[in-house]
Amino acid sequence: MVVVLRYVDKRGVFKESLIGVAHVNNTSSATLKDAIVSLLSNNQLSIDQVRCQGYDGASNMRGKFNGLKALILRDNPSAHYIHCFAHQLQLVIVVVAKKHTGVKEFYEFLGMVVNTVGASCKRKDMMLELKKERVENEILRGEIKTGKGLNQEVSLVRARYTRWGSHHRTITSLLKLFPEVIEVLKFIELDGESVQQRSNAKGILSYFMKLEFVLYIHLLEEILGLTNALAKHLQKKSQDLLEAAKLISGIN
């Protein structure tokens, strides 16, 4: 468990410091609390000095009765709990988006693409080799530029419910690898190891032909790109409130 301390120094300057990494045998709230108390004590600090605590939305962290925040509040009522706003933003966007039937179906197919294409090293290698050939041909034709940091190797990213920006990275990785994904799916449709795999590949290819797929992938790439930029900005040590306000205005 990583413990980070935010504080204001004697000159009134806001600072953030890593005070320790604690090995814990389990992730129960009681175990985590004991580890935090121990780390604070080792740094001549006390839980009574804490004025705020912030975690993600896991039940063992923010549980109303037995979560870590509740255990600390019993000892110190002044240790107010604040849910990480950048994390909340990601969860709200994903949850609200998936309440739309079309978007929910889009993400279901997106998950199928990652599972089907990335199910074996053979398919991953096939996709990367096809990508390499395409980049080489485009460079020879002068269609893309070369240089440091350009044309990096890309792989399909699996969307994680509680990972900031993972849904956006899944979409952008699919857009970058779309021609290669199509070729791998066609291969699976014909030579897949099981009937289920061949059926999944056929279904995905059929979905890719629909106009709604084109609409959703570009619409969500734009929306999640904005929210991802805002989430990253909110995690910076030095906050620029005017820049954050502009990003929020862009989302609205």
Query: Whose CA is closest to 46, among 31, 55, 54, 36?
Result: 36
| 29, 62 contact by CB (below 8 A) | no
pLDDT of res. 211 = 93
pLDDT tens across the length of the chain (252 residues) = 889 998 888 898 888 888 889 888 888 999 999 999 999 999 999 999 999 888 866 778 877 888 888 999 999 999 988 877 666 766 777 777 778 888 889 988 988 888 888 777 788 888 888 888 887 777 677 766 665 555 555 677 777 655 556 778 889 888 888 888 899 899 889 887 788 888 989 999 999 999 999 999 999 888 888 877 777 776 676 666 677 677 667 655
CA distance linking residue 252 with residue 249, whole number of Å: 5
| 175, 221 contact by CB (below 8 A) | yes
pLDDT of res. 210 = 93
pLDDT of res. 160 = 67
pLDDT of res. 164 = 55
CA distance linking residue 192 with residue 116, whole number of Å: 10
Question: 178 Cβ partners below 8 Å, 6+ apart?
Answer: none
Check the CA dihedral 43-47-51-56 and report its sign: positive
Q: Write phi, then psi, for 15 (nearest 5 degrees).
A: -135, 160
Tell me the sheet residues that pair with 161: none
